[in-house]
């Protein structure tokens, strides 16, 4: 397993739409494993393939990765709950919840985002088996955030237009400075 590079705003791969996964082979399994390793290394609770430069409809999630008690444990004692969603699609959404969101691809910025509180998601396993699952609260929010990535969207795209413009300009400027430093 290896830790992959996470692309950050304004990299164009983050604005592109991921394509459905058609081959459920060892290459897909390896990409999922590497994405999990990358997510653990970066301390995120979810990662979409776009973020590592792969336009595939593949998401990895581990909600325990933000649990501070869990993070305080020495690595071998941590209890991981990795989840993998291939070709996820939103089948139903209801309710409303507002969460302070962050993203490994949006450096040093968080914002409140309103999303559905409960969703039903259809997806496939790494073996290509079709599944359906109801998710609520943080799990639902996380999946919606990651599915946005697959559609080429970031959580900052949910901000009101003027604020979005200001934030994107600022983030682009910071990225440019970091590059030239
Ligand atoms: Ni993200």
For ligand 1, a single-atom ion, the residues with CB < 5 A are 103
Residue 19: its pLDDT value, please?
98
Residue 162: its pLDDT value, please?
96
- 8-27 pLDDT, tens digit per residue, is 999 999 999 999 999 999 99
- Unique residue bearing structure tokens 């983050």: 14
If pLDDT is split at 50, 70 and 90, which confidence band does 163 have? Answer: very high
Active site residues per annotation: 146
pLDDT of 178 higher than 90 = no
One-character DSSP codes across the chain? --PPPPP-TT-GGGGSPPBPP---SHHHHHHHHHHHHHHHHHT-SEEEGGGGT--BSEEEE-GGGG-HHHHHS-GGG-----EEEEEEEEEEEES-EEEEEEETTEEEEEEEEEE-SEEEEEEE-TT--EEEEEEEHHHHHHHHHHHHHHTT--GGGGS-HHHHHHHHHHHHHHHHHHHH-
In this prediction, residues 76-104 reach a mean pLDDT of 95
Residue 170: its pLDDT value, please?
94
Q: How far is the CA of 117 from the centre of ligand 1 (A)?
A: 18
Nearest to 45 by CA among 130, 141, 112: 141
* Angle at alpha carbon of residue 106, lines to 100 and 112, rounded to 5°: 20
Q: How far is the CA of 134 from the centre of ligand 1 (A)?
A: 21
Report the Cα–Cα distance between both ends of the chain, in Å, rounded.
31
Q: How far is the CA of 101 from the centre of ligand 1 (A)?
A: 9
Q: Which domains does the chain have, with CATH numbers?
A: 12-180 (3.90.45.10)
Nearest to 53 by CA among 22, 88, 12: 12
Q: Give the Cα separation of 127 and 69 in Å (integer).
A: 33
Please tell me the pTM assigned to this model. 0.95
- 45-69 pLDDT, tens digit per residue, is 999 999 999 999 999 999 988 778 8
Q: How far is the CA of 48 from the centre of ligand 1 (A)?
A: 7
pLDDT of 71 higher than 90 = no
**Mean pLDDT rounded to a whole number for the chain:** 95
Q: Give the Cα separation of 86 and 13 in Å (integer).
A: 19
Residue 75: its pLDDT value, please?
80
Residue 154: its pLDDT value, please?
98
- 129-162 pLDDT, tens digit per residue, is 999 999 999 999 999 999 999 999 999 999 999 9
């Amino acid at each position: 397993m290896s830790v992959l590079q996470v692309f950050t705003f304004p990299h164009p791969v983050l604005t592109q739409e991921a394509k459905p996964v058609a081959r459920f082979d060892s290459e897909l399994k390896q990409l999922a494993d590497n994405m999990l390793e990358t997510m653990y290394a970066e301390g995120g609770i979810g990662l979409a393939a776009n973020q590592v430069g792969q336009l595939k409809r593949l998401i990895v999630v581990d909600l325990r990765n933000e649990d501070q008690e869990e993070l305080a444990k020495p690595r071998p004692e941590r209890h991981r709950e990795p989840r993998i969603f291939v070709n996820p699609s939103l089948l139903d959404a209801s309710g409303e919840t507002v969460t302070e969101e962050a993203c490994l691809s949006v450096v040093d910025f968080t914002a409140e985002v309103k999303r559905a509180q409960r969703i039903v998601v259809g997806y496939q396993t790494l073996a290509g088996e079709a599944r359906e699952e109801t998710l609520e609260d943080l799990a639902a929010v996380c999946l919606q955030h990651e599915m946005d990535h697959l559609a080429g969207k970031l959580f900052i795209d949910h901000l009101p237009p003027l604020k979005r413009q200001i934030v994107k300009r600022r983030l682009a400027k910071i990225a440019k400075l970091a590059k030239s430093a």
